[in-house]
Amino acid sequence: MDFLSKLVLAVAILGTASLAAAEDPPRDLTPIGGKWYVQSGVKPVYFYLDAGRYVDLFSYHIQDSNKDGIDNVRLSHDSRSLIIQSQGYPNHPTASFPNSGNPNSIRVQNFHFRLPLEPKVAPRITRVPMGPIGMALNGVVFFNPFEAGGMNAVEGYSEVWLDSCCGHPQQTGVYHYHKYPSCVKSPFPDDGKQHSPVIGFAWDGFPIYGPYQDAGVMARDLKGTVALDVCNGHSDKQRGYHYHVTPGRFPYVIGGYAGTPDPANGRGLGRGEAGAITNNASGVSRLEQVITAVKPGTASRGKKHTIQIELTPANSRFGVPSGKPAWAQIGPFEATKIERSANILKIEIDIPADSAVGVWLDCHVEFEGAGRGGTKVFKRNDAFRVVE
């Protein structure tokens, strides 16, 4: 079932007049502060006023992904904050963990986060700490760009640790994103024809949007007075201050808090260290470039495609297993069929009509019965794009 079908089903289940968005307020909305509204019911529905539209951001993600009888994301509020309880468990396919690139396992969490209902730009920037710095709409947390040793986890030596959905677990099992999470759905397709939708929030309460500022224009490429600041944010008349993810450009998600983060959201926020983070992409790459090419490098939405993945030979120094991979994924698209002939893989993927457009996606291949954790993984970053 694709995203739009699930959205229609959610409308039917919840009985909401306009679950996704509406120019006019949906019925029985109560303002709770800032741009936030609640619609009462068995499960209250929270709407965010985004550029004149009342948007239900979370209902699609209120599901039980790990089948434990508890929703991934649960919402409530008080006079100051939107209160989020999250299991931090991804609702999209992930790599197998542990694997040859990561010794950790994904574990269910018990997060309690608070988003200020009325965020305000502060007199100084607050540095983003290690650990959670914000949250995607599915309840999975964002981390800053650095891994535990202080190196850049996106560009530097540890890039193989991230799966094709741009996440991985750390030592205590917290699955998290260091960059634009290509598998996180919003209520609207990000087709590159207008401003991107909201994909999450920073702990200062300001929203984090996808990569596009306007039709065909990524926010990272803006210049002059409208350019993103060191926090990866800027203001416009429709949205006020907000952040954008910047694929391929540091800091990828946010580089600092322009507002005041709620210290209840994590260790290190209470210290309030000033200033934005700076890049550190040095180091020797651990990325074993076993995937030498992905062809074609682009494909259109709403169709099934056969993609060719070229590997180094099985007898190369990288120790590529000789059999067929157990699993392959490009961005959010799992292979439905895998064939191998010598060092050539042919996979089939279905690209839904509502898929995001224009952003480079990573390719990930797994072989069972080899490597740490019984799974050998190989990765190629920025290998494929979806086009119209």
Q: Encode pLDDT of 6-56 as tens digits.
A: 333 333 333 333 345 566 778 889 999 999 999 988 889 999 999 999 999
Question: pLDDT value at position 366?
Answer: 93
Residues with Cβ < 8 Å from 176, sequence gap 6 or more? 88, 132, 140, 141, 142, 143, 167, 168, 169, 170
Res. 308: pLDDT tops 50? yes
266 and 247 housed in the same domain? yes
59 and 191 housed in the same domain? yes
301 and 277 housed in the same domain? no
Average pLDDT over residues 168-192: 90
Of 286, 312, 339, the last residue of a domain is 286
Domain CATH number, residue 383: 2.60.40
250 and 160 housed in the same domain? yes
Res. 2: pLDDT tops 50? no
Rounded CA-CA distance 13/5 in Å is: 12
Question: pLDDT value at position 289?
Answer: 77
- Cis-peptide, bond into residue 325, ω within 30° of zero: no
CA distances to 81, 83, 146 from 265, rounded to whole Å, are 12, 10, 19
Res. 125: pLDDT tops 90? yes
Q: What's the one-letter identity of residue 200?
A: G
Give the chain's domain count. Answer: 2
Question: pLDDT value at position 317?
Answer: 67
Rounded CA-CA distance 118/130 in Å is: 25
* Residue 211 phi, psi dihedral angles, 5° rounding: -80, -15
Mean pLDDT lowest among 211-220, 283-292, 338-347: 283-292
Q: Which residues span the domain enclosing 274?
A: 1-286
Of 221, 256, 286, the last residue of a domain is 286
Q: Do 334 and 93 form a contact (C-beta atoms < 8 A)?
A: yes
The full DSSP string for 201-266 is: EETTS-EEE-SEEETTEEGGG--GGGS--TTSEEEETTTEEEEE--TTSTTSS-SSBSS---GGG-
281 and 314 housed in the same domain? no
Question: pLDDT value at position 9?
Answer: 36
Q: Do 335 and 384 form a contact (C-beta atoms < 8 A)?
A: no
CA proximity to 210, closest of 245, 240, 178, 237: 245
275 and 216 housed in the same domain? yes
The residue among 4 and 77 whose pLDDT is bigger is: 77
336 and 275 housed in the same domain? no
317 and 239 housed in the same domain? no
CA distances to 132, 134, 145, 271, 342 from 264, rounded to whole Å, are 12, 12, 22, 12, 54
- Cis-peptide, bond into residue 98, ω within 30° of zero: yes
- Cis-peptide, bond into residue 26, ω within 30° of zero: no
The residue among 188 and 12 whose pLDDT is bigger is: 188
Between the ranges 64-68, 255-259, 265-269, 364-368, where is the mean pLDDT highest? 255-259
Mean pLDDT lowest among 71-75, 156-160, 250-254, 288-292: 156-160
Rounded to two decimals, what is the model's pTM? Answer: 0.90
Going across the sheet that includes 375-387, the strands are: 298-300, 375-387, 361-368, 327-330, 333-334
3-state secondary structure of 371: coil
CA proximity to 189, closest of 386, 9, 328: 386
The separation between CA 112 and the C-alpha centre of its own chain, rounded to angstroms, equals 19
Q: Count how many residues are written for the chain.
A: 388
Which residue do the tokens 């074609």 mark? 296
Confidence of residue 1 (pLDDT cuts 50, 70, 90): very low
179 and 196 housed in the same domain? yes
Predicted confidence (pLDDT) per residue in 191-247, tens digit: 999 999 999 999 999 999 999 999 999 999 999 999 999 999 999 999 999 999 999
What mean pLDDT is reported for the chain? 87
CA distances to 297, 322, 330, 331, 381 from 384, rounded to whole Å, are 5, 25, 7, 8, 9
21 and 78 housed in the same domain? yes
124 and 161 housed in the same domain? yes
Question: pLDDT value at position 150?
Answer: 77
Average pLDDT over residues 269-273: 67
Q: Do 348 and 305 form a contact (C-beta atoms < 8 A)?
A: yes
Of 239, 267, 286, the last residue of a domain is 286
Rounded CA-CA distance 229/244 in Å is: 10
302 and 215 housed in the same domain? no
